[in-house]
Amino acid sequence: MEQARPHKPESCEEETEVPHLGPLELAIILVIVIMIFGVGKLPEVGSAMGKAIRGFRQASAGVEEEIKREAKEELPKGSA
């Protein structure tokens, strides 16, 4: 006799959860960052991270715009 297998979710969204970072976890991360980079380097590190995040957002917005533009161009071709 076969044993019943556990239900497998249809989408990956049900399988993964984003961990919650509370104030204690954020404080621990901040202490580790200060220990690694030192207090004097924090403005430089923050600036570099801000530039990297800004660049990532701009790149993802560009890709999104290109996908939308291509989808609009393909729509009339496919429906004719």
CA–CA separation, 61 vs 55, rounded Å? 10
**What is the tens place of the pLDDT at every residue in 71-80?**
888 776 555 5
Q: Is the pTM of this model over 0.85?
A: no
| pLDDT digit string, tens, across residues 21-76 | 899 998 998 899 888 888 888 888 889 999 999 999 999 999 999 999 988 887 76
Q: Where are the domains of the chain?
A: 41-80
Query: Is residue 38 left, alpha or beta, with left meaning phi > 0 and alpha meaning psi from -120 to 50?
Result: left
Q: How far apart are CA 47 and CA 15, in angstroms?
A: 35
Contact 37, 45 (CB under 8 A): yes
End-to-end alpha carbon distance in the chain: 56
Distance (Å, whole) CA 15 – CA 33? 31
